[in-house]
Amino acid sequence: MGAITLERAFRLFDAIFDYLLVLDGERRVLHVNDALAVQCGWEPAAVAGRALAELLPERTREPLSEALARAEAGEMSGTSFWKLSDAAPVLPLRIALAENEDEPLIMLWGNHPPELHSLAGLGEASYMERAKELACLYAVAEWVEVSPSIAEFFAGFPRYMREGMQYPDHAVVFASYLGEEYGERPAGAQILRADLVVGGEARGELMVGYDDVSLATLPDEQRLLDEIARLLNLALDRKQLSETLAVKRSQLDDERAKLSTVNSYLDRLKGGFEESQSRLQTMFEAIPDMVAIIDRNRNVIMTNRKAVPTGSKCHKTFFDSDTPCMDCRLKRIIREKAPITLEVRHGDQHFEVNAMPIFNKQHEVDGIIEFYRDVTYKKTYEQQLQQADKLASLGQLVSGIGHEINNPNQFIRGNIKIMQQAMDDILPILDAHAAAHPDLKIARLKYDFFRSHVGTLISDMANGSERIKRIVDALKRFARKDEGQLIDQVDVNTVIDESARLAHNQVHKFADIELDLAAELPPFTGNAQKLEQVLINLIINASQAMPEDRRGTITVGTRREGDDVVITVADDGKGMSERTLRQIFDPFFTTKRAKGGTGLGLSIVYRIIEEHRGRITVSSQPGQGTTFTITLPLRQGPAEG
């Protein structure tokens, strides 16, 4: 981000405020913007450094001096109306002090209400009436901005409207909006009316009259009411002032709070070029969300991140795209002239983007300011909750299916035993019959062939039925709710054998599983189900790391080393880079996000091994495969507090 100088800060204020005058600690002119200089008939270079009192009309010096004294005492003024030169009209300005270690800065700033005619050249009576209209319109404009709801705006509207009338003590003000009525309807023939039109439809009206029929309304009062109605129509149309705005307002307040960090610093700008520059830049960069100011041509002109370049197009800077985004915030804000909040995805990252318009003097969108908040973790957590629900449902489904498979399999196992016993009794009879009938066939097979294979067939059926039982039992154990306690007597070779069987169906398409298990390993206290989860995760990960052009091999081995049992899961797959190795156990880190990977599997593996007071390490090189080594103590110590 380029350095923010005092001069650049003034330019930023010039873009925000129609009028800006900055005085030093001795009330000498430090800066005046072009619009105010034109109104006052000043040459900026000629008035720079001059005392403000020398430039003021005589009738303005004393009240303005008192207002400046209050500002120097720390009081920020509301909007007041000042005549800064004989040539200038009455201007709405606020006054505040910006503190500094060296000397204070006094700022006078303001905006002109839309489409008000100049007061210059009017007589004293007309001058005062126009000043009163100006104050009324400006007060209504401010009340539109600060009122928290429609009801509260219209409840307070009459006291502002009365101040603009010729006879405020007799003015009766009434308003209706969306069927709700506020105030008392005026009676009599001379009643001023103005419609409230939002989105091209009539939504209500404003009415003003006098409670004394002898008092007549003025055309200027009708024009004032029309101007206020136009202001309200624009505000209601742009902001959709409705009761639901309370929710939107809280969101906008959050964004205003972020901007207030910068604004409060700018309000306290003090003398000392280098110090002001350093403080402003530090404060801007300290905003936790990334902030970017983008002009109307999509050029990034300022950010609070040094690593983000300025001067290039926003879609290139933030999303590395040569074309504008499909949901371009700038284009939408130029059209709607209202803040927007939406979610944007870039690669694996999700951002909540709050974009607000920056208006020029003609109330046209001159650019936008955007806040980017990284909500990737939030999105990932939501996905994991969904995945957890799916896994819970899957556990119930597996348990139910296991029960349904086990029932008919019990019939098969029992009947096979009967068939084996029956064949033992039948075969001698068939042998005798076949000796007398050499051409005997059974199931269209010659008896000799049938006789030599029938035992194998029945044995295969029995083995298959037993295998079904073992697989179903393993699935039911895997789906069973885990209490997380280390109370099982774990036979690690049995756990590996069942894990390989459960993973076989998913792995066999890509690799073969080979077991190299040491004999007579002693059991240890642990959680067999969790260790089974570890091994299934590692075996499936290894199968997914195989190259596409060949079938791989996964070797699972065990051995004893002193008081530890060591498990290795090795593959001859693609291997991993050094950067991937450093992050392999980090939650949500995955190289398979496009295929549905969550990045939680290995972090869970790491946690389970830690629960068993063990350790897990990994070694790998690109193109040479990967080996995970798990070391578990045979004697589990007490859990750490």
Q: Which residues contact 519 (CB under 8 A, 6 or more apart)?
A: none
The parts of the chain modelled with pLDDT lower than 70 are: 1-6, 78-79, 100-102, 112-134, 145, 189, 237-252, 255-256, 258-281, 283-286, 347-348, 377, 379-400, 402-403, 470-471, 473-484, 587-600, 636-641
Burial per residue of 16-25, b for 16 or more beta-carbon CB atoms within 10 angstroms, e otherwise: ebbbbbbbbb
Do residues 284 and 291 touch, judged by C-beta distance below 8 A? yes
CA dihedral of 405, 407, 408, 411, whole degrees rounded to 10: 140
Tell me, what DSSP letter sits at residue 348?
Answer: T
Q: In what order do the strands lie in the sheet with 171-177?
A: 180-183, 171-177, 201-210, 192-198
Q: Which residues contact 21 (CB under 8 A, 6 or more apart)?
A: 29, 31, 32, 33, 36, 52, 84, 93, 107, 108, 109
Q: In what order do the strands lie in the sheet with 105-110?
A: 29-32, 19-23, 105-110, 91-98, 80-82
Phi, psi of 547 (to 5 degrees): -65, 155
Measured CA to CA, the distance from residue 468 to residue 120 in angstroms comes to: 99
Phi, psi of 542 (to 5 degrees): -65, -40
Phi, psi of 263 (to 5 degrees): -65, -40
Give which of 213, 169, 217, 166 is closest to 192, Cα–Cα.
Answer: 217
Q: In what order do the strands lie in the sheet with 626-633?
A: 511-516, 552-561, 564-571, 626-633, 615-620
- The contacts found for 223-228 with CB under 8 angstroms, 24 or more apart, are 224/133, 224/136, 224/137, 224/164, 225/161, 225/192, 225/193, 225/194, 226/194, 227/113, 227/115, 227/116, 227/137, 228/136, 228/137, 228/140, 228/161, 228/194
Measured CA to CA, the distance from residue 146 to residue 401 in angstroms comes to: 63
H/E stretch holding 418: helix 376-436
Q: Which residues contact 641 (CB under 8 A, 6 or more apart)?
A: none
Q: Which residues contact 534 (CB under 8 A, 6 or more apart)?
A: 605, 608, 609, 630
Cα 8 to chain center, whole Å? 31
In degrees, rounded to 5, the angle at the alpha carbon of residue 320 between the alpha carbons of residues 318 and 323 is 100
Q: Which residues contact 386 (CB under 8 A, 6 or more apart)?
A: none
pTM: 0.33
Tell me, what DSSP letter sits at residue 550?
Answer: S
Strand extents, DSSP E, 429-535: 441-442, 445-446, 488-490, 511-516, 524-526
Q: What is the pLDDT of residue 159?
A: 82
How many Cβ atoms are within 10 Å of 81's Cβ, its own excluded? 16
Give which of 529, 421, 402, 391 is closest to 472, Cα–Cα.
Answer: 402
DSSP characters over 67-83: HHHHHHTTPPP--EEE-
> All domains of the chain, ordered by start, with CATH?
6-110 (3.30.450.20), 150-242 (no CATH), 482-641 (3.30.565.10)
**Residue 414: Cβ-neighbour burial (10 angstroms; 0-12, 13-18, 19+):** exposed
* Tokens 């913007």 found at: 33
Cα 173 to chain center, whole Å? 45
What residues form DSSP beta bridges with 552?
Answer: 511
Q: What is the pLDDT of residue 247?
A: 55
Q: What is the pLDDT of residue 352?
A: 82
In degrees, rounded to 5, the angle at the alpha carbon of residue 483 between the alpha carbons of residues 607 and 561 is 45
How many Cβ atoms are within 10 Å of 465's Cβ, its own excluded? 18
- The contacts found for 185-191 with CB under 8 angstroms, 24 or more apart, are 186/210, 186/211, 187/211, 188/213, 189/213, 190/216, 190/217, 191/217
